[in-house]
Structure 1
Amino acid sequence: MVLQSIRDRLHGIIAIFIFAILIIPFAFVGVNSYFTSDAQNAVALVNEQEITVDQFNRSFQNYRRRMQAQLGTSFDPEMFDQLVVRRQFLDQMINEELMSQVSVESGLAVSNDRLAQEIRGLAGFEVDGEFNVDVYQQRLASMGMTPQQFENDMRASLVMDQFPRVIAQSAISTDWEMREYARLQEQQRSFRAIIVPARPGPDTADETDESEPVDSETTEPAEEAVAEAAPEMEISEEDILAWYEENSTDYLSEEQVIIEYLELDAAMLGGAIEPEEEQLRARFEEQQARFVTPEARLASHILIEVPTDAPQVDVDTARQAAEDLAERAEAGEDFAVLARESSQDIGSAEEGGDLGWIEPGYMVQAFEDALYELTPENPISEPIKTGFGWHVINLREIRPSEGMTYAEAREILLAEYQAEADERRFLEQADRMIDIIYEDPTTLSAAAEELGLAVQEAGPFSRNGGELGVAANMEVVNAAFSDLVLAQGAVSDPVDLGTNHIVVVRLKEHLPEALKPLEEVRDEVIAAVER
């Protein structure tokens, strides 16, 4: 969150200056511009690797479709259209790219056998404890994924998984540490106890031998006997006062504060801003690619694997095998049968090479280019070389691209426009509030008057916080007890309560730690003396 990040890193005039600079691009273009700029721009740069707008939009739409398939009727389109969800997804893409780069640099890889073993071990694809191909295909289809996509994602995930796991498993234990751990784990202890009456009666010594151990089962009756035999002890006022004075630190009140605060919440700034219809139409034209489902192609393939470091003779041999299979398919042999017999793609071979529906961006470029050059009249490709080996592709069906009309997309565009407008308005108000407070950091009145906000009050509460309102938020509590507020008497830095929701606090009254009156703690003192 913008304000929280600034508060965590900077203080004083430098923070105000940088915050004002950050406001400018948001005020003019809005947050959404970072997601809707030209296709050649990058939304993130991870080391030297760009995450482009197209990549982000394509990945986010795929994610949205998968979530819709998983959630069914519970899917809430509005939730997945929120800017915060898109930001979180971008953060996830950045983290994955970082892990991928580190894993590649470290030389980590996952073999086909390991990949197959992991997939077959997933409970979601099992029937009666056994991997089921039909369930595998159905589950992936419900998530909007092909087997090839899932296997590529799974392989990437396993590769990225290796790096933190290798680090975690690199810890060593000495023989002595292992022996000591085993000794402590298996350690057992036994004990015996005796009851020593706190206030023995005149006959207690005859009834109970203190030197004789007492079994735990007789403890309760013995204690009752002692209680009956013990005379009531009288405690004088002198004893009470002496204990109270000698142990005064036990009867101190907690340090507390009462605060004033201003709360700025985008949700409370007034009604939604209605844009001109031309503005929404212009957005639709600029972002039309978001609302279009691209042409998809139903395809199968046969893979003849070739290791990346294979000698040229092996590469040529594999190519010849792929050419022979392509010729047999063109001659009329059943492509699915050829794939089952010859394909080395463990994920699709048993399904006759079926890859499901493929959209642009799902496959490596060479494979995608070859697939989209095929036609219903010429559905079999020549052998295509990728990093996996040689492919023979069979085009089975073409699904034309489909798109939303302006009327269908209008509600989405309107919600995004209003969210951006609310955020801009909030940032403008927050910027102005900070400027006013900076001019006089000892009061909230000026900011409250200009921005039309109410100066509210909370407390008293201790360093452990309160139960209700802002006093229940530990960030607010920490700000209230900070040196800036408590010692200097100044208004706090903004405290982030959520998306576009901040609060600033000022000390109204400080209630320092103090000795409670004796009458207030008399019962506690008497109980302590009796013990």
Structure 2
Amino acid sequence: MVFQKMRRSIKPMMWVILIAFAASIPLMYARSALQKGGEESLAEVNGEPISYLSFAQSFQSAYERYYQFLGGEISPEMEKYLRFQVLSELVTSELLWQEAKKADIQVSEEEIVTQIKSIMENFPSREAFMRVLEMRKISYPEFKRDIVRQLSVNELVQRIKDSVGITEEEVKSYWMMENEKIEVEYILIKPQNYQKEVKVTQEDMEKYYKTHTEEFRVPEKVKVNYIRLAAQDFQDEVKISPSTIRDYYQNHLAEYQIPERRRASHILIELASDATKEEKEEAREEIEKIQSKLRGGADFATLARQYSQDSVSAEKGGDLGFFSYQEMVPSFSEAVFTLKEAGEVTQIIESPFGYHLAKLTGIKLAYLKTFEEVGDEIEVILAREKTDALVQEEVRRVKNELEQGKISFQEYGKVHPQRVGTSSFFAIDENIEEIGWAPEINQIAFSLKQGDIGPVIETFQGYYILGLEERRPSYIPNFAEAQEKVEEVLITQKAQELAQQKAKFVKLEGETGVSFSSLAEEQKLEYEHLKYFNRKGWIEEIYGEDREKFIDLAFSLPVGKIGEPLLLTDGYYLINLQGRNLPWEEFPEQKEKFKQDLLSQKRDIFLQAWLAKIREKAKIVDNSSLFFPP
């Protein structure tokens, strides 16, 4: 599992978040510093600018990782989300730095030197480290300033977290919530099974209708004409020549360059993000002992199985398989990719997950995919691009001609009948029979006036252009029109009442000592027996809020007690608690672990609340709309 977390493509913006929360990641990998100068600011945080350049650097990294993770498909919606996420993290980073300065946190030269030495240990030499800085266009003074900022922010975060404590009772309660198990049986009484017994008279329906007329109000509905333009409408018009495909390949060689991949094994000594100084020292000592064993000739795979705390890879002798530079957190990749040949072992690596030692076991050199390998793929890309261009061109043309009155929906439909339709009437929150579930279409449809041509709507099905055909205002139907629905409501209500009565009867019978299983069989009701499970345990066919209510009631009952009938989605549940297991004898041994888990959770929650509070008070100016389309 640790290996999966290490793969950076899974966690966008990880490198920015770790600026604030992990002392082990240098800011050289996340240039979120606010570079002043003549650049326009994308945003301002209490007067301090976030430049477009600093944003672009972070956004490019996030985009590349998502591009790899999603197999080269990034929708406009995803790109918009990434922009928001990256900018949000840069704002948070700047707020933390400002708060650290307010707190007058001082970083000693010794701390700076220690941190720099720790980073340099991941490289074979100082010269190799300086080459990496040069490659990333970072001067040594800039790097050192980033280290100061990082250490200051980490100290601030640690102080905030250290202000949170927990009581003995909180630890006990948390342990109990996680370890308590119960055994229950339940009977389910479904109202739908009693609907046939319900008799509703004309008088009942008329009386209910008169006192609940608003309940049967028919909402406002609209009918629209629409034109749908999709890529498949133009596929037959697109032909891509072999020379065009080859030209594309030659002009995009970088896209078909497969990066070097390396195979490594590792040994991990885990370290929590909020670990104390003493815990860090203990973990460091442990990894150094393992390092000494390796230098003494011990087998890496054997030591990994014996000591590594990455349980998944430890079983395989620490093997992580092949990975590219971008797939791992920076400190790990820097160390592994500077090794010269298989068999070499890194120095101690510090990462967000703890301390590692890694052994290089294989290298797949970078190579360029041949034209023969990618020709078909390129043809698909070019065909899609050309098809998309044709769709966009037709969308613009049709919309303009509709707005200018040069054509109507009906006239366009005579030429392209498969692209034009008229919907049935629908409410703003209803599925559109001819189109399907498309809330954005509902919203636009209800905003239109007679004669309006709506904006272009992009959906998974294609592009839609709408025109209002007819609008029906909301109204209260007369009894004759509403009668069927009135009857349905009354039958449902009365069936539920019958089911509730049955549940109360069965509860009374159960309390006399009759077994639940016998009662269920006698009354032809559904019965289930759930053997010991905890609060997170799986309960078949009970989900979401229903499950939470079931769990809350079941765990609140005394042993041998039948709960009051509980109405959930499927009907009334009668729960009988048969047993409870709470192994208090295990608490002393597990207490410290649960204490640390709970403390970590409380600290994280407190930190997030604190961050939200300072963000709310901050003066944040967002100029992103000047740089990006809405």
Pick the TM interval, shorter chain: 0.3 to 0.5
Q: TM-score, normalised by structure 1?
A: 0.44
- Which one has more relative contact order, counting CA pairs under 8 Å at least 6 apart? 2
* Larger of the two Rg values belongs to structure: 1
Q: TM-score, normalised by structure 2?
A: 0.38
